[in-house]
């Protein structure tokens, strides 16, 4: 992304605007030189005319010529009584050399001398007037010719001497200008105008000390000589004495407050000194004095732009060009600020208007090209940059920006060549150093990029964009605090640098400081409301926080401002997916796929995150490419850190042979209250310590939960890597621990530090459990999976080799964590439905209940199609039955009563109050010690309905899935669909979708998200779980199966879509796995309409929970140890990484279509 001066910013940034040069009023130099075009000061031609028009002047001249006697007193009186306007300033009449010893006596006046001009005899007065007119019209040769004729007649004619000085200054005959100034001083040593003109000569020659001395003499001789004060101010500015220059301007304005040009010049000086408010006052006063003064409007626009008031700046520049349609600088400034505001069409118009006034203005061509670049008109931008270079071949900025355009077009070699050409023309061209650094960074040459950024800052320490870009590299390297320091420096230098605010917001977001990040994004938007990237970044943080309405609004704003904005479009699509807003769904998905495939083809960072890629119909190759790009970023992030360092030393290849245990390292940011820990928290403690040595490396701080405490207590070694933020040092720690196999449990989920794995701290590195897809990384060797989840036909979707667990790669700790749900008490009314899912009691200790004498037995039978009893066709399920009064229970539910006594020694707690009474039990950290009551009435579920449920986040539902569910509801008349408000914004869209297809809204029941224990326990109330084929319930699938609720699924071609099938096969109920959408509907419909079949399947699932391997953590650890040993043996034998399938075949019918 290019800035108008050539700088290029970090990706996603909008370039800052260059400082706008103050405009120059016609006839007024920036430094305040006021006499004529080109800055000649002193007595101007206008002064001469005023002197010549003074009544009595001719008489005085004639008297001097006749008698050479003048009365000094009379002359002084004349001077005091008659004042003349010189260029808007007040000046005394020309002092003449008079003889103070003489007294003026009445004499006869001789005729005024005449001269011959172009064959016509005219008086000296008229000749001088003619010379003045010629000077004013720019005809310096004729003016000088006329003055020379007068000079021949009267060599001491002071007005003529001053005019000759001015003429020669204009024509750059500086020595002659000085000569005539000295002659004027010789004629009258008190002539302030001559000293001022002499000061101009010295200033032009670079002799500031002499210039200052003469200007000061001029104002000393004539304290109200405004021109001299202005010239003095200009010389003081040139000498760096800005405060004294301000004083000189103020003095001139005290003499005449209505000098709006001078006041505007003072504003320019104050603006240059950073005193913007004082400058603003000057410009406003100038406008008050002369509302038609376009220059002041333009200069005021510059101040507003510097203060970040972009819209006020635009208004004032537009006012300036309205007042003066030929005001070139104002059009340029207007174009620049419109470009900064990203109002590109109007910026183009302003630049084209400027080019109508000055077609060969190379800088305007360059700025116009910048706008074309921003509009995506890259070829037009390239042509326009070339035009700028043609007009000004020594134009390094144009070469630099042309390089930017080539880079955008993908012509990297041409871009590098142009940057180098710019540096050839100007080795200190900081923009090109900065932009070349960006190319190096994108090429992965982070050290070269860093060196070039530092070089740019060495050339120009106040280079805000280079600070920002260097900060982005530091952020990429994980040096977040250092990055923040450079962003803050960029903002100090350029307070309206919206990009730096936005990028600093990204860093703060990464640091977990969301509120500070939001403040940065809002400030960036305040500076530039049209800053699409900042709107997108703000949307992202809202999205992460679950504020979907705000996220959607900000993404939509970003797209309105920048329609071709892939990141905003893809993230908006994901937000809409999260809330099930399927407006234009097919069109949206088609566009998203096209965007990602184009980005992958151009080797750019895709706008779809790897973890979201499973939600869209992308090819396996595209999904790998998305992940691989993120993996390469991880590698780049640590590359610089390890420069010059020796590679990490791995554990000895034969260390296990020599008696050492296999050292396993689990790495995760989720060792705490997180679904991953809910699944595997018992694994470290259940590993066979004789065979393996277990290390857990935590990437997150201790959250104080029992989950964390359990992992810390049951791991042989628990290392908190959150205390080692440097990835290099973290990797060194793991290598020092001699880890044989390092297990990545994060993938690309929140909190991951894949950079550690990129440094290869272990000889074998494995993906497992926490991330349902490929890493796309060359530094990951295996992914632990199984034959159902990942048939060999899908190996092409992974960069890792497949390593099969014998049953399923998934595991759940439910038997330990939620053991109170191992058994249940089904409460039924004698007169009501026979369904077993309406009112249930659970407790960890059933003995007091089962010991009651009132217990009776009920026997059910069910089919067995797999598992240890497969040879039997049917098996019996024995259920104890206890008669208790149900009316008190109903009253408890209706009134919200927390506890009650059902019968002697049997206290029951309302399950809805679990989180209120026992926090750690509610979160699953502790097993509840009370009897918990769960009923359909608590969730507004009818007792007489078949309840189909799904407790996944709503983003996993897509239109084809909900179409199937609607068909199932239609096929099962007395059925309802039970979903979660996860998030709540999805409810209205799902209800609308279903009602439009004939399903009454009352048949869709939504419940709020609950704490872990209740979330799982209430699943007992459902009859059947309908899984989401797009992305299955993984942890949620384990949760619902633990309650004994059958789950219907349909595997597709991604790992995330096949986990539920693997769980069901491991559970021994593969008949619940559909091979098509039609079969999915058929399986669910039968379960809904066939009560006996449903009861049989529920009994089967209930029994299989404790008899199959699905929830058997001990068996899982044994199987996993065997698999890890096979990996190590291959490494030990020097064999390459390869699939480890143990000849396990995918069950017939569960292979994806080829």
For the cut 90, the answer to whether the pLDDT of residue 1149 exceeds it is: no
DSSP for residue 1049: B
Weakest-pLDDT range from 149-163, 336-350, 438-452, 635-649: 635-649
User: What's the CA gap between 60 and 38, in Å, rounded?
Assistant: 34
Q: How confident is the model at residue 443 (pLDDT cuts 50, 70, 90)?
A: confident
User: 144 by DSSP, 3-state: which?
Assistant: helix
- Give me the phi and psi of 745, to 5 degrees please: -100, 5
User: 473 is written with which tokens?
Assistant: 């590299």
pLDDT for the residue 61:
33
Nearest to 350 by CA among 381, 375, 329: 329
For the cut 70, the answer to whether the pLDDT of residue 987 exceeds it is: yes
Query: Residue 198 belongs to what H/E stretch?
Result: helix 192-205
CB 634 within 8 A of CB 754: yes
The burial of 624, by beta-carbon neighbours within 10 Å (0-12 exposed, 13-18 middle, 19 or more buried), is given as: buried
For the cut 80, the answer to whether the pLDDT of residue 870 exceeds it is: no
Weakest-pLDDT range from 9-13, 399-403, 464-468, 890-894: 9-13
CATH assignment of 661-812+1118-1132, among 3.20.20.370, 3.90.1010.10, 3.40.50.11380, 3.20.20.140: 3.40.50.11380
Looking only at the bridges linking them, the beta strands covering 801-804 and 782-785 are parallel
List, in order, residues 6 or more apart from 780 with CB less than 8 Å away. Answer: 744, 757, 765, 766, 767, 799, 800
pLDDT in tens, 896-923: 888 887 766 678 899 986 666 788 999 9
Domain positions in the chain = 39-54+114-256, 257-323, 661-812+1118-1132, 815-1110
Which CATH number is associated with domain 39-54+114-256? 1.25.40.10
Cα end-to-end span (Å), the chain:
43
User: What's the CA gap between 606 and 595, in Å, rounded?
Assistant: 8
Weakest-pLDDT range from 216-220, 368-372, 638-642, 821-825: 638-642
For the cut 70, the answer to whether the pLDDT of residue 533 exceeds it is: yes
pLDDT for the residue 1145:
84
User: What's the CA gap between 1028 and 982, in Å, rounded?
Assistant: 14
pLDDT for the residue 1153:
59
Query: Residue 698 belongs to what H/E stretch?
Result: strand 692-698
Beta strands across the sheet bearing 741-744 = 717-720, 692-698, 662-668, 741-744, 764-767, 782-785, 801-804
Q: In the predicted model, what is the mean pLDDT of residues 847-856?
A: 76
Which CATH number is associated with domain 257-323? 1.25.40.10
pLDDT for the residue 590:
98
Task: Answer left, alpha or beta for residue 173, where phi above 0 means left and psi between -120 and 50 means alpha.
Answer: beta
For the cut 80, the answer to whether the pLDDT of residue 46 exceeds it is: no
Q: How confident is the model at residue 336 (pLDDT cuts 50, 70, 90)?
A: very high
pLDDT for the residue 118:
80
Measured CA distances, 537 to 476, 790, 896 (Å): 17, 36, 44
Q: How confident is the model at residue 876 (pLDDT cuts 50, 70, 90)?
A: low
pLDDT for the residue 486:
98
pLDDT for the residue 83:
28
Q: How confident is the model at residue 879 (pLDDT cuts 50, 70, 90)?
A: low
pLDDT for the residue 106:
41
CB 752 within 8 A of CB 676: no
User: 410 is written with which tokens?
Assistant: 């993908």
Domains 39-54+114-256 and 257-323 belong to one CATH topology = yes
Looking only at the bridges linking them, the beta strands covering 120-123 and 114-117 are antiparallel
Q: In the predicted model, what is the mean pLDDT of residues 147-152?
A: 91
Q: In the predicted model, what is the mean pLDDT of residues 477-488?
A: 93
pLDDT for the residue 850:
78
pLDDT in tens, 470-482: 999 999 887 899 9
pLDDT in tens, 701-753: 999 999 999 999 999 999 999 999 889 999 999 999 999 999 999 999 999 99
CATH superfamily of 815-1110: Glycogen Phosphorylase B; (3.40.50.2000)
pLDDT in tens, 788-822: 999 999 999 999 999 999 999 999 999 999 999 99
User: What's the CA gap between 697 and 669, in Å, rounded?
Assistant: 8
For residues 306 and 763, which has the higher predicted lDDT (pLDDT)?
763
For the cut 80, the answer to whether the pLDDT of residue 842 exceeds it is: yes
pLDDT for the residue 560:
97
**Active site includes 179?**
no
Measured at the CA of 487, the angle between CA 481 and CA 492, to 5 degrees, comes to: 125
User: What's the CA gap between 692 and 1121, in Å, rounded?
Assistant: 8
Q: In the predicted model, what is the mean pLDDT of residues 1095-1119?
A: 96
Specify the pTM: 0.70
Percent with pLDDT over 70 in the chain? 87
Q: How confident is the model at residue 865 (pLDDT cuts 50, 70, 90)?
A: very low
For the cut 60, the answer to whether the pLDDT of residue 102 exceeds it is: no
The burial of 222, by beta-carbon neighbours within 10 Å (0-12 exposed, 13-18 middle, 19 or more buried), is given as: buried
pLDDT in tens, 419-433: 999 999 999 999 999
How many Cα atoms occupy the beta-carbon half-sphere of 987 within 13 Å?
Answer: 17
Q: Which of 17, 365, 542, 611 is catalytic?
A: 611
User: What's the CA gap between 825 and 858, in Å, rounded?
Assistant: 13
pLDDT for the residue 48:
30
DSSP for residue 2: B
User: 735 by DSSP, 3-state: which?
Assistant: helix
Q: In the predicted model, what is the mean pLDDT of residues 225-252?
A: 91
pLDDT for the residue 861:
64
User: What's the CA gap between 685 and 692, in Å, rounded?
Assistant: 11
User: What's the CA gap between 477 and 483, in Å, rounded?
Assistant: 9
Q: How confident is the model at residue 862 (pLDDT cuts 50, 70, 90)?
A: low
Looking only at the bridges linking them, the beta strands covering 801-804 and 84-86 are unpaired
User: 432 by DSSP, 3-state: which?
Assistant: helix
For the cut 80, the answer to whether the pLDDT of residue 1147 exceeds it is: yes
pLDDT for the residue 970:
98
The residues that bridge with 326 in the sheet, in sequence order, are none
Measured at the CA of 621, the angle between CA 792 and CA 774, to 5 degrees, comes to: 60
User: What's the CA gap between 1011 and 1026, in Å, rounded?
Assistant: 21
For the cut 70, the answer to whether the pLDDT of residue 635 exceeds it is: yes
Helices (H), 426-530: 430-442, 446-459, 464-476, 480-493, 498-510, 514-527
DSSP for residue 1146: P
For residues 95 and 818, which has the higher predicted lDDT (pLDDT)?
818
pLDDT for the residue 914:
67
For the cut 70, the answer to whether the pLDDT of residue 875 exceeds it is: no
Q: In the predicted model, what is the mean pLDDT of residues 84-101?
A: 29
User: 650 is written with which tokens?
Assistant: 């791995």
DSSP for residue 135: H
Average model confidence (pLDDT) across the chain: 87
pLDDT in tens, 208-222: 999 999 999 999 999
Rg of the chain, C-alpha, whole Å:
43
Looking only at the bridges linking them, the beta strands covering 741-744 and 1024-1026 are unpaired
Q: In the predicted model, what is the mean pLDDT of residues 40-47?
A: 32
pLDDT for the residue 832:
56
**Reduced DSSP (H G I as helix, E B as strand, rest coil) percent helix, strand, coil of the chain, to 5:** 55, 10, 35
pLDDT in tens, 156-171: 989 999 999 999 999 9
CB 416 within 8 A of CB 452: no
């Amino acid at each position: 992304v290019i800035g108008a001066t050539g700088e290029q910013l970090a990706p996603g940034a909008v370039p800052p605007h260059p400082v706008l040069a103050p405009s120059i009023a016609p006839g007024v130099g920036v430094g305040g030189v006021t006499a004529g075009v080109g800055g000649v000061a002193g007595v101007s031609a206008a002064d001469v005319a005023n002197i010549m028009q003074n009544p009595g002047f001719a008489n005085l001249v004639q008297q001097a010529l006749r008698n050479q006697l003048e009365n000094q007193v009379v002359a002084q009186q004349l001077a005091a009584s008659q004042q003349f306007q010189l260029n808007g300033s007040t000046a005394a009449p020309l002092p003449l050399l008079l003889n103070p010893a003489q007294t003026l006596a009445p004499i006869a006046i001789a005729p005024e001398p005449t001269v011959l001009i172009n064959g016509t005899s005219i008086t000296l007065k008229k000749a001088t007037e003619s010379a003045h007119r010629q000077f004013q019209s720019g005809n310096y040769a004729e003016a000088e010719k006329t003055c020379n004729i007068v000079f021949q007649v009267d060599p001491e004619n002071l007005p003529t001497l001053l005019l000759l000085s001015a003429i020669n200054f204009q024509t750059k005959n500086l020595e002659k200008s000085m000569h005539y100034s000295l002659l004027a001083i010789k004629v009258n040593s008190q002539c302030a105008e001559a000293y001022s003109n002499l000061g101009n000569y010295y200033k032009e020659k670079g002799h500031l000390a002499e210039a200052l001395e003469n200007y000061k003499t001029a104002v000393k001789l004539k304290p109200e000589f405004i021109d001299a004060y202005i010239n003095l101010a200009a010389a003081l500015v040139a000498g760096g004495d800005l405060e004294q220059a301000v004083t000189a301007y103020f003095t001139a304005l005290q003499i005449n407050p209505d000098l709006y040009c001078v006041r505007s010049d003072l504003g320019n000086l104050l603006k240059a000194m950073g005193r913007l408010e004082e400058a603003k006052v000057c410009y406003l006063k100038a406008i008050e004095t002369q509302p038609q003064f376009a220059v002041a409007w333009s200069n005021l626009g510059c101040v507003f732009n510097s203060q970040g008031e972009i819209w006020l700046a635009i208004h004032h520049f537009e006012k300036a060009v309205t007042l003066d349609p030929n005001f070139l600088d104002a059009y340029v400034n207007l174009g620049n600020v419109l470009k900064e505001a990203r109002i590109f069409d109007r910026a183009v118009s302003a630049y084209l208007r400027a080019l109508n006034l000055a077609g060969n203005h190379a800088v305007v061509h360059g700025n116009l090209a910048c706008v074309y670049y921003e509009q995506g008109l890259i070829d037009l931008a390239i042509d326009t940059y070339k035009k700028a270079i043609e007009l000004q071949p020594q134009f390094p900025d144009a070469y630099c920006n042309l390089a930017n355009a080539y880079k955008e077009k993908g012509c990297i070699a041409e871009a590098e060549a142009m940057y180098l050409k710019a540096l050839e023309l100007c080795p200190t061209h900081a923009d090109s150093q900065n932009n070349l650094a960006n190319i190096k960074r994108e090429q992965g040459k982070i050290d070269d990029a860093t060196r070039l950024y530092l070089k740019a800052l060495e050339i120009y320490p106040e280079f805000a964009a280079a600070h920002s870009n260097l900060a982005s590299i530091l952020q990429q390297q994980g040096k977040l605090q250092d990055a923040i320091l450079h962003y803050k420096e960029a903002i100090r230098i350029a307070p309206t640098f919206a990009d730096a605010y936005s990028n600093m917001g990204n860093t703060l977001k990464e640091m977990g400081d969301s509120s500070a990040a939001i403040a940065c994004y809002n400030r960036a938007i305040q500076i530039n409301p049209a800053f699409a990237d900042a709107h997108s970044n703000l949307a992202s943080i809202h999205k992460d926080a679950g504020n979907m309405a705000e996220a959607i609004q900000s993404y939509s704003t970003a797209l309105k401002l920048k329609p071709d904005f892939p990141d905003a479009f893809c993230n908006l699509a994901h937000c809409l997916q999260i809330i099930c807003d399927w407006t234009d769904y097919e069109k949206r998905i088609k566009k998203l796929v096209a965007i990602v495939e184009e980005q992958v083809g151009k080797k750019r960072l895709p706008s779809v995150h790897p973890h979201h890629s499973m939600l869209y119909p992308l090819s396996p190759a595209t999904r790998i490419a998305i992940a691989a790009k993120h993996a390469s970023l991880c590698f780049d992030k640590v590359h610089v850190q390890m420069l010059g360092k020796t590679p990490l030393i791995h554990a000895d290849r034969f260390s296990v042979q020599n008696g050492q245990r296999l050292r396993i390292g689990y790495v995760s940011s989720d060792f705490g209250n997180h679904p991953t820990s809910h699944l595997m928290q018992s694994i470290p403690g259940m590993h066979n310590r004789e065979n393996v040595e277990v290390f857990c490396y935590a990437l997150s701080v201790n959250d104080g939960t029992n989950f964390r405490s359990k992992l810390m207590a049951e791991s042989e070694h628990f290392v908190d890597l959150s205390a080692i933020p440097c990835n290099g040092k973290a990797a060194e720690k793991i290598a020092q621990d001699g880890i044989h196999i390092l297990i990545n449990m994060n993938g690309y989920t929140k909190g991951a530090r894949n950079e550690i794995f990129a440094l290869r701290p272990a000889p074998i590195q494995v993906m497992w459990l926490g991330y349902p897809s490929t890493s796309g990384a060359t530094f990951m060797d295996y992914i632990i999976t199984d034959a159902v989840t990942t048939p060999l036909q899908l190996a092409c979707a992974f960069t890792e080799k497949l390593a099969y667990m014998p049953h399923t790669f998934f595991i759940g700790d439910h038997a330990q964590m939620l053991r109170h749900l191992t058994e249940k008490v089904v409460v039924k009314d004698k007169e009501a439905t026979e369904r077993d899912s309406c009112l249930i009691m659970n407790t960890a200790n059933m003995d007091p209940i089962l010991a009651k004498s009132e217990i009776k037995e009920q026997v059910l039978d069910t089919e067995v199609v797999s598992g240890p009893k497969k040879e039997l066709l049917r098996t019996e399920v024995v259920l104890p039955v206890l008669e208790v009064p149900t009316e008190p229970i109903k009253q408890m539910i209706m009134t919200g009563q927390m506890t009650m006594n059902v019968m002697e020694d049997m206290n029951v707690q309302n399950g809805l109050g679990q989180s209120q009474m026992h926090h750690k039990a509610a979160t699953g950290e502790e097993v509840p010690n009370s009897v918990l009551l769960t009923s359909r009435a608590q969730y507004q579920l009818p007792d007489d309905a078949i309840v189909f449920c799904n407790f996944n986040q709503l983003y996993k539902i897509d239109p084809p899935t909900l179409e199937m569910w609607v068909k199932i509801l239609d096929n099962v008349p007395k059925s309802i669909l039970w979903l979660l408000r996860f998030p709540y914004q999805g409810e209205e869209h799902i209800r609308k979708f279903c009602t439009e297809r004939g399903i009454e809204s009352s048949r869709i029941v939504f419940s709020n998200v609950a704490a872990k224990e209740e979330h799982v326990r209430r699943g007992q109330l459902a009859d059947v779980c309908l899984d989401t084929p797009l992305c299955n319930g993984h942890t949620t699938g384990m949760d619902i199966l633990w309650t004994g609720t059958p789950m219907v699924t349909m595997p597709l071609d991604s790992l995330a879509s096949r986990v539920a099938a693997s769980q069901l096969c491991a559970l021994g109920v593969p008949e619940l796995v559909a091979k098509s959408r039609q079969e999915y509907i058929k399986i669910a419909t039968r379960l809904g309409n066939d009560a006996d079949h449903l009861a049989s399947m529920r009994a089967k699932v209930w029994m299989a929970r404790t008899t199959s391997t699905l929830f058997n953590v001990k068996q899982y650890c044994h199987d996993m140890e065997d698999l890890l040993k096979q990996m190590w043996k291959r490494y030990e034998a020097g064999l390459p990484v390869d699939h480890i399938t143990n000849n396990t075949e995918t069950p017939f019918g569960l292979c994806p279509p080829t």
